[in-house]
Structures are given as structure tokens and as C-alpha cells.
Amino acid sequence: MEKQGVAVVFPGQGSQRPGMGKDFYDNILESRHIYHEASDALGWDVAAMCFGGDERLNLTEYAQPCILTTEIAMLRGLHSLYGFSPAFFGGHSLGEYTALVAADVLSLPETLPIVQVRGNLMQEAMPVGVGGMSAIISDDIDAGMIRDTLKDLPVDVANINSADQVVISGVLSAMHKAEKLLKDVIKNQILRFVPLNVSAPFHSRFMDSIREAFEDALRALMKMLTPGGAKRVTSNFTGGFHSNNPDEIVNNLVLQLSNTVKWRDNMYALSSRADEIYEIGPTRPLRSFFKTIDVTCSPITTLSAAKRVFERNL
């Protein structure tokens, strides 16, 4: 397939940091408008939450709308300064919502309350301290083998991020047992386990309890979808691109909550269509995943980074 343009990808929860997006807010009117629009939609000051060192920024219900707002503010700022107009879009977990807004499938004011509901429900699915997630890092990890090995434990494969990283998610007390079991079974590889700083077991069976409530919220949003651009956005649930069927878009977003994020497949899908890929967000976790498939992903986390990227060839 002939490559047809530029792609942009957006990181999800965990990429938040105090001060994120402030340089865009201070210097670009279009970016500042996005923060004001978000504050009006949510009823609280999003810019103050992002810039002021508020500890609530790490709570799921605040982190998710703040990340979405910041990423869209950065994207609109780049369009204003450099005419940056991607042809394809992808996002990791929460970042998929940013991608859908960026592709004009969803509007920002209508999506922000849904994302806040998503964050609240995900946090409520299991009491804090009961669930957790851990990244497994090694060379050429077999996600299917991990899934089969852990089938009798309350632990699921949450993310297939790359050939070198798979994330598991489930009951915290079972994580040590999962680690021991995997090391016993996969003896020919060195496995490194890195606990993630999250408060719930995202993308696991333990999110099933909130699916109905979240679907109700999403169904209301479906009436406001503009699905034509969805074919340019990758789906974490399917691994490929979305269709332009509103029911399928909503269904994939609901299923994303409790199923594996197929990010490795998303990367292949995007790199097969785009000749350049950029990562826009507060931090740059996705760039390293693209390196594992020998694809360059240029990160933009600040306004100065954007200037380096877009002005280097001028």
C-alpha cells in the first residue's frame, strides 16, 4: 500500500505531569482557547489543574480529561504555527479518545465529560490497593504464552505494547504469584517486572462491572458522532483502523475498557499508511515502542521541542 501522509499518536494515562502544556497556553491563542473550552465543559479550571502542581492531577478522574485537553491544545497549537494536519491518528488507551477528537469524529466539549465518567468508573471498579498492573520487559515476549500461563490466576494481559513489553493487570495479591509462575515457565528468557503507578487494574476482566454504565454514557455521545474520519483512527480493541459505523466505534471503545490494548498492531497499521509519525503529549512513552519495529516516531512534548522538529528543515 502506498503511504499517504503523516500520522500522530497520543499517549494515555501516566503521561501527565505538572505544568504540561503551559508553554502552549502562554504563547498560542488557539491552545489557550482549548483549555478555556475544556473548563467550560467540565465546570472546573483545567488549566489550573494542569499547571498548578495540584496532587489531584494523578487521580484518574482528573488525569484523563487533563491529558486529553493538553494533547488537543498542543495539536491545535501546532496547526496554528506550522499548518500541521495529520492524515492518520492513533492513541494508547485514553489516547484513543484524543485521536478521535483530533480526527473530528468526536468534539472536545462532548468528549471531556465522557472521559471524566470513564475515569471515575475505572477507579470505582475495584477498591484502591486491591488491583494493580505490571510491565513485563524482555526480548521477543510471547503474549499468548503469558495469557495461557496465567489463565488460572486473576490476572490478564492488558497491553501488548511491543515485542519487548507486555503489561499484565489484575488482583495485586496475585501479581507476585504471576511473576514466579512466568519465570518458572519461561526459563530461556530474562523477564523484568516493573510495577506501574496506577490505582486500578485497567484493561482487565475487573473492568467488566462498569461496562454497562459506560456504554450508557457513550450511547448518548453516539448521536453526536461524525464518523467519516474514523477510518483514519486506529482502534486499541481491534488493532486495526476503526470503521465509520457509529455502533462499531462505540462498541470498540466499550470493549477497550476490559480487553487487551493491541498497541503493537496499531503501530504496524499506522506505519503501513504513514510516511512520518509524531508523538504529541506531555511525555513520550510511545516513541520507544515504535523503535522496536524500526519506525521513527518524533516526539513533541514542549513548544521548544516542536520548534526543533518543524524548523530543522527550514
Q: Which residues contact 19 (CB under 8 A, 6 or more apart)?
A: 50, 51, 53
193 and 51 in a common domain: no
For residues 66 and 212, membership in a common domain is answered with yes
The answer to whether position 135 is within a domain reads yes
- Residue 220 is predicted with a pLDDT of 84
Domains of the chain: total: 2
CATH for 182: 3.30.70.250
140: left (phi over 0), alpha (psi -120 to 50) or beta: left
Relative orientation angle of helices 29-42 and 108-124, to the nearest 10 degrees: 50
Whether residue 45 is contained in a domain is answered as yes
Same domain, 11 and 30: yes
Count of H helices and E strands in the chain?
13, 8
Domain's final residue, options 179, 198, 217: 198
Please report, for the domain that includes residue 90, its CATH number.
Answer: 3.40.366.10
Domain interval for residue 179: 131-198
User: Are 215 and 89 contained in the same domain?
Assistant: yes
- Burial-class residue 29 by CB neighbours within 10 Å (0-12, 13-18, 19+): exposed
Note whether residue 151 is domain-resident.
yes
Assess whether 88 and 218 both reside in one domain.
Answer: yes
Q: Which three cell numbers stand for residue 135?
A: 510491565
> Grid cell 480526527 — which residue?
103
User: Active-site positions?
Assistant: 93, 203
Residues 53 and 158 in one domain: no
Do 292 and 144 sit in the same domain of this protein? no
Name the pTM for this structure: 0.95
Single residue among 198, 219, 242 that ends a domain in this structure: 198
Bridge partner list, 299: 279
pLDDT for 203-217, tens place per residue? Answer: 999 999 999 999 998
Structural domain contains residue 285: yes
Are residues 302 and 236 part of one domain?
Answer: yes
Do 50 and 176 have their domain in common?
Answer: no
The last residue of one of the domains, among 147, 181, 198, is 198
* pLDDT the model gives residue 314: 44
Q: Are both 139 and 36 inside the same structural domain? A: no
Chain centroid to Cα 30, Å, comes to 23
Is position 255 within any domain?
yes
Shared domain for 118 and 168, answered yes or no, is: no
Residue 1 lies in a domain: no
Same domain as 42, residue 73: yes
Question: What parts of the chain have a pLDDT lower than 50?
Answer: 314
